[in-house]
């Protein structure tokens, strides 16, 4: 039986082997098989996979509309602060430098109650052509 190195580990090994002479630092910001509310992530699609990386800027004192994501996604808050609220009642407070594994197929919204923009970069992984976000009617 052959064992294969996963893409993530292979990339890490290549980066470390190639760049170890330089003063390159790699920090794992968040890694989990669970969403921020503690429930398990869904299985990945057997369909052709597509990755999207999106930078989102939420102005001060602004709430996003209630929405859900049908795909796995994770974010990194570059600056500002953000509170994510789930329709089920949970909430997660983020400050600059925090990582987040977002909810999948659960209604929620983000709110920036701070005085500066909240800038977050989000990586979405799903089937080609699948919507990344669905707004609640």
Tell whether 8 is covered by a domain: no
How many domains does the chain fold into?
1
Calculate what percentage of the chain has a pLDDT beyond 70: 82
pLDDT digits (tens, 9 = 90+) for 28-79: 778 888 889 999 888 876 788 889 999 999 999 999 999 999 999 999 999 9
Tell whether 40 is covered by a domain: yes
Written as one string, the DSSP assignment of 60-88 is TTEEPPPEE-SSEEEEEEEESEEEEEETT
Tell whether 14 is covered by a domain: no
Tell whether 15 is covered by a domain: no
Query: In the sheet where 118-127 sits, what is the strand order?
Result: 49-58, 118-127, 72-79, 99-101
Note if the pTM is more than 0.85.
no
CB 37 within 8 A of CB 90: yes
Q: Which two tokens stand for residue 76?
A: 């990194």
Calculate what percentage of the chain has a pLDDT beyond 90: 62
Q: What are phi and psi of 54, to 5 degrees?
A: -130, 135
Grade residue 5 by pLDDT with cuts at 50, 70 and 90: very low
11 membership: H or E segment, kind and range: helix 7-19
C-alpha 64/C-alpha 75 separation (Å) is 15
Residue 110 structural domain: 29-135
Tell whether 7 is covered by a domain: no
Specify the CATH number for the domain of residue 82: 2.60.120.10
């Amino acid at each position: 039986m052959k064992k294969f190195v996963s893409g993530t580990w292979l990339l890490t090994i290549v980066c470390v082997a190639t760049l170890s002479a330089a003063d390159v630092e790699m920090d794992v910001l968040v890694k989990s098989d669970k969403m921020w509310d503690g429930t398990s992530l869904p299985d990945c699609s057997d369909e052709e996979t597509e990755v999207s990386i999106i930078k989102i800027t939420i102005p001060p004192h602004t709430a996003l509309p209630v929405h859900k994501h049908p795909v796995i996604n994770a974010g990194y808050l570059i600056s500002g602060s953000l509170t994510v609220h789930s329709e089920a009642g949970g909430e997660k407070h983020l400050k600059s430098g925090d990582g987040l594994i977002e909810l999948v197929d659960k209604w929620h919204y983000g709110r920036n109650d701070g005085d500066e923009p909240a800038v977050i970069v989000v990586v979405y992984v799903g089937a080609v052509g699948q919507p990344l976000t669905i707004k609640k009617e």
